[in-house]
């Protein structure tokens, strides 16, 4: 498996600094969420080539998937994101789902999401990029977020039926929402394109909470998974020190 860092791992530092640090630690990619904040995509592409490490994932515009009136805006954002990904060499696009709408049944909202994703799927298939839907916990961090449970998320992906529409499985979020992390992370591995990790409680680096990441990552690796695992976490100590501990305590032993 490949390890990615997320922008913000080094507070106040830009994407180039992060890429240099990723190279230094022997990791494999950077998740940069808001590609539209980059002033010069061509410059970033050249810097990626120079450093030898690039962006592994980005997000699409934060527009609700469950509001049919926003479908055209969502798809416009998707088209813009795909073009940015082509320039940056990114092969994974993360999408949140938006909050549940009062007064509209969950089934109607779910089917709105499925239909929008079905319309997006050919765009991603043609581009060779994967759209990743991300369930988030509604208990601590994202109250009202529509998609939270992994079983419902998998049902959505199965209804869309495209190899280029899959899930991000965020271990932290799913631990808060439902537990059963290893069972779900392994059982749904064929629908998962990418994992996020952070400990719970606190959403800080592995080793600071209740999650046994040695066992979790061993189980994921045992499925044959060779994609990205993103450290989407805060750091309670110096970032470089925390990453060295993670490499020694977890990565070296899986």
Read off the pLDDT band of 240 (50, 70, 90). Answer: very high
pLDDT tens readout for residues 80-122? 999 999 999 999 999 999 999 999 999 999 999 999 999 999 9
Residue-level pLDDT at 86: 98
User: Any alpha helices (H) in the chain, and if so which ranges?
Assistant: 15-25, 41-51, 71-88, 106-127, 150-160, 171-177, 181-187, 213-222, 239-249
Residue-level pLDDT at 55: 98
163/128 Cα distance (integer angstroms): 10
Q: What is the pTM of this model?
A: 0.96
pLDDT tens readout for residues 204-215? 999 999 999 999
- What are the tokens at 233? 């976490």
Mean pLDDT (the chain, rounded) = 98
Count CB atoms within 10 A of the CB of residue 52: 9
Is the Cβ–Cβ distance between 147 and 129 less than 8 Å? no
pLDDT tens readout for residues 106-165? 999 999 999 999 999 999 999 999 999 999 999 999 999 999 999 999 999 999 999 999
51/116 Cα distance (integer angstroms): 37
Place of tokens 């992390």: 181
Read off the pLDDT band of 45 (50, 70, 90). Answer: very high
The end-to-end CA distance of the chain, in Å, is: 10
CA 225 to the chain's CA centroid:
15
Residue-level pLDDT at 122: 98
Q: Give percent of the chain with pLDDT exceeding 90.
A: 100
| Average pLDDT rounded to a whole number, residues 227-254 | 98
Read off the pLDDT band of 3 (50, 70, 90). Answer: very high
Structural domains of the chain sorted by starting position, each given as residue range(s) with its CATH number in brackets: 2-253 (3.20.20.150)
């Amino acid at each position: 498996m490949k390890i990615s860092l997320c922008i913000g791992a080094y507070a106040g530092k830009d994407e180039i600094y992060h890429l240099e640090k990723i190279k230094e630690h022997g990791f494999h990619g950077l998740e940069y969420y808001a590609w539209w904040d980059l002033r010069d995509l061509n410059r970033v592409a050249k810097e990626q080539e120079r450093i030898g490490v690039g962006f592994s994932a980005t997000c699409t515009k934060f527009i609700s998937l469950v509001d049919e009136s926003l479908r055209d805006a969502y798809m416009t954002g998707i088209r813009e994101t795909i073009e940015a990904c082509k320039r940056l060499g990114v092969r994974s696009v993360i999408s949140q789902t938006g909050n549940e709408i009062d007064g509209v049944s969950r089934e109607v909202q779910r089917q709105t999401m499925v239909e929008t994703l079905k319309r997006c799927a050919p765009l991603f298939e043609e581009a060779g990029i994967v759209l990743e839907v991300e369930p988030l916990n509604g208990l601590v961090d994202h109250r009202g977020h529509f998609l939270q449970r992994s079983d419902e998320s998998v049902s959505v992906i199965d209804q869309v039926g495209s190899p280029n529409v899959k899930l991000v499985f965020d271990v932290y979020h799913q631990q808060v929402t439902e537990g059963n992390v290893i069972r779900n992370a392994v059982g749904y591995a064929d629908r998962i394109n990418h994992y996020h990790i952070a400990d719970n409680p606190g959403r800080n680096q592995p080793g600071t909470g209740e999650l046994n990441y040695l066992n979790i990552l061993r189980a994921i690796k045992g499925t044959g998974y060779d994609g990205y695992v993103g450290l989407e976490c805060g750091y309670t100590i110096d970032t470089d020190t925390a990453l060295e501990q993670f490499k020694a305590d977890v990565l070296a032993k899986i």
